[in-house]
Amino acid sequence: MTKITDPPAPTMATIEPLAHYLLPIQRLIELFESGRLDRVQSIEVEPEYGRVARILYKDGHVRIIHDHGFGVNRADAAYVARDKGLTKHFLERLGYRTPTGQIFCSRRWQQRVGPNLARSGSTGAPGVDQIIPYIHRTLTYPCIIKPSDGSLGEGVFKCFDDTETRAAIESHAQEGYRFTLVEQFVTLPLYRVNVWKRELMYCGRRVPLQLRGDGRSSIEHLLTQHLDALRLRRPGVSLQPDDPRLDWALRRRGLDSSSIPKDGESVVFDECMTFPLGGDIVDLTTQVHPYWRDLCMNLTRDMGLLLAGIDLFCADITEDEADYRVLEVNAAPRMANYATTGSEADRRTHALFLRLLNGEALDEPRG
């Protein structure tokens, strides 16, 4: 472990935040070295990957931060937020609107836990073999199929027919996902709202991956160029040009990867809305109507969280009481992504990192 002590020991070199460290870890090191974390006694950073750090505060408290979490949310509340099915259950019981949908159990997990459930008189979630009948009975195409415990856009499919649905189910089986969430596709604009306690810290409208043709280059070439450029300025872009979801999207448009868009023509992949899948975001923090600010702050509290990133479908976030659906609640929102969207977003993110890392959450009653 690499250790920094406050003040730095004479025999210990000042640690530098390496380029491959996650942004929260980089900011932790920078803030500590600059003397701005006045409540922190020392920090230790795991040096190989730069994803975990231990913070010792001067009052004796210890906090472990991992990936994009800051160790400020209760473990059980964070666990529920990581499970999309559990989150959906509690949000609906609390009176929040969510997309129409249902959880389904993988064949393997059903075989493992089914006998125990049967002995107790419970049937558990229906199996994935019931997904297509459920879609025909309750939903309409297109619909969204995603793992209950996935993140970063992994395993998320927008399906337009039974063939695509079967392929999505098979992909989930190959990846070993235990539960699959099937939901009606929502056509409303999608926003990310970051909340810290009783404050709205950031709000942005998600924008899908978009390529602009030059009349000469194929979609495959344009996509490769676009993703390479994104990775230079943004962490965590995981989409690859050979992702089968892109082929599905192109086929629906009568295109393929070798197609050459006209000069100025746009090819929009509304299946790819998240940062890891090449999407973008437009900062609307100062334009959020108080109705939505209060809804997101109340939702964060109702889910037992202090820090949350809420994915919210909303007809118009600048107006009150518009149609909406809560898509997901994230207990470890990747604020580093939003810091790349502009200088003001970077300033807000930096200010929040300072508050979180300097121990503001230690002042919150934990219950």
Encode pLDDT of 208-260 as tens digits: 999 999 999 999 999 999 999 888 877 678 888 888 889 999 998 999 999 99
Q: Quote the CA–CA distance of 9 and 260 in Å, as a whole number.
A: 60
Report the half-sphere exposure of 131 (CA within 13 A, side-chain side): 31
Predicted pLDDT at 363: 63
Q: Is the pLDDT confidence value at 170 over 90?
A: yes
Instruction: Work out the average pLDDT over 76-100.
Output: 93
Residue among 348, 72, 50 at smallest CA distance from 193 = 348
Predicted pLDDT at 193: 95
Encode pLDDT of 295-314 as tens digits: 999 999 999 999 999 999 99
Q: Which range has the worst mean pLDDT, 113-122, 139-148, 332-341?
A: 113-122
Residue among 287, 334, 329, 336 at smallest CA distance from 311 = 329
Encode pLDDT of 35-76 as tens digits: 999 999 999 988 888 888 999 999 988 888 888 888 888 888
Predicted pLDDT at 134: 97
Q: Is the pLDDT confidence value at 341 over 80?
A: no
Q: Is the pLDDT confidence value at 339 over 90?
A: no
Read off the pTM: 0.85
From residue 179, give the alpha-carbon distance in Å to each of 108, 137, 150, 173, 234.
10, 20, 10, 10, 30
**Mean of per-residue pLDDT scores for the chain:** 87
Instruction: Give the DSSP letter of residue 188.
Output: S
Burial 33-67 (b: 16+ CB within 10 A, else e): beeebeebebbbbeeeebbbbbbbbeeeeebebee
Predicted pLDDT at 13: 41
Q: Is the pLDDT confidence value at 8 over 90?
A: no
Share of the chain above pLDDT 70, in %: 92
Q: Is the pLDDT confidence value at 4 over 60?
A: no
